[in-house]
Amino acid sequence: MMISAVIIEDEPIFQEILRKAIVQTGSNIRIDGVCNSKREAKKVLPVVNPQLIFLDVELADGKGVDLLNELESTDFEIIFTTSHDKYAINAIKNNAADYLLKPIKEKELKKAIEKVAKRLEEKETLKEAIRLQEYLDKVKSDQQQDSKLMVPTKEGMIFLKVNDIVRLQSESNYTLFCLTSKKKILVAKTLKSFEEKLLTYNFLRIHQSNLINLAHMKEIDHGDNFVLMSDDSQVEISKRKKKEFMDSLQKNNRTISSK
């Protein structure tokens, strides 16, 4: 992924040296801003909202760590740059990704950027997990807890709680109901006959043969195109249904992570 970065450095020569060094590493870094002072950085950072800053420890108008304390948000990775190793402890205290001594060696710079990329990936994975959980919580709250569906079986008509249905699977002219209890019930009706009734309860047909309860999704694997359900079943997402599936999720302002 491309990483947005800002250089905060009061020496023009070193600004250019750092720019060139970043390019030479071959890393996916896009420099979206260069600041000469703490004062300028306080104006630029909230506008650019970078993922990474290269921060000189000593600026003409103050310390780099003071800048961090004065910002409302520091939701970015930090690589400190300095001519003195006595500031290393401040880098650690500020949870910096790395601490580089001038003149910066290309190998050390590349390792620092790789570390940043890994931290950003881990952070995004965590955010995606939180967003998915929020989405599932919303789906569950939208489903009426006591809503029931009447289905015909060979034993007669039975009522199933909507929240207990993990997924429905087509079996020719029958439909197999897979429940949270791991119980499976074969119903003498087609999948299509249940689809319209269950759409209002956040069920979605992601394959010709499968209708899933979105509240019971555990994980989405875009690489292999399947959804892992709460009963540990893997349900294929058909190519024809994938766009509809993702659009449905995004309507709820949620982004689901790829594996």
The predicted model gives 124-153 an average pLDDT of 72
22, burial (CB in 10 Å: exposed 0-12, middle 13-18, buried 19+):
buried
Residue ranges making up the domain that contains 178:
143-250
Domain count, the chain: 2
What confidence category does residue 112 fall into, taking pLDDT thresholds of 50, 70 and 90?
Answer: very high
Between CA 189 and CA 170 the distance in angstroms is: 9
Outline where DSSP puts E strands in the chain.
3-8, 29-35, 52-56, 58-59, 62-63, 77-82, 98-101, 148-153, 156-161, 165-171, 174-179, 184-187, 203-207, 210-213, 217-221, 226-229, 234-236
What order do you get walking across the sheet with 210-213 strand by strand? 184-187, 174-179, 165-171, 210-213, 203-207
Look at residues 134, 161, 182 and tell me which one is the last residue of a structural domain: 134
Tokens 């250089």 belong to which residue?
7
CATH number, domain containing residue 240: 2.40.50.1020
Same domain, 96 and 182: no
pLDDT reading at 234 higher than 70: yes
For residue 103, whether the previous peptide bond is cis, meaning omega lies within 30 degrees of 0, is: yes
Q: pLDDT class for 109, splitting at 50, 70, 90?
A: very high
95 shares a domain with 121:
yes
Where among 115, 134, 153 does a domain terminate? 134
* pLDDT score recorded for residue 84: 74
For residues 247-258, give the mean pLDDT: 57
β strands within 174-245, DSSP E: 174-179, 184-187, 203-207, 210-213, 217-221, 226-229, 234-236
pLDDT higher than 60, residue 17: yes
Mean pLDDT throughout 51-62? 93
CATH number of 104's domain: 3.40.50.2300
125 and 147 inside one domain: no
| Window from 14-28, 82-96, 164-178 with minimum mean pLDDT | 82-96
Question: Pick from 134, 166, 190: which residue ends a domain?
Answer: 134
Distance CA(91)–CA(79), nearest Å, equals: 8
For the ranges 90-94, 104-108, 176-180, 207-211, which has the lowest average pLDDT? Answer: 90-94
* 257 DSSP 8-state letter: P
pLDDT attached to residue 44: 96
What's the pTM value of the predicted model, to 2 decimals?
A: 0.55
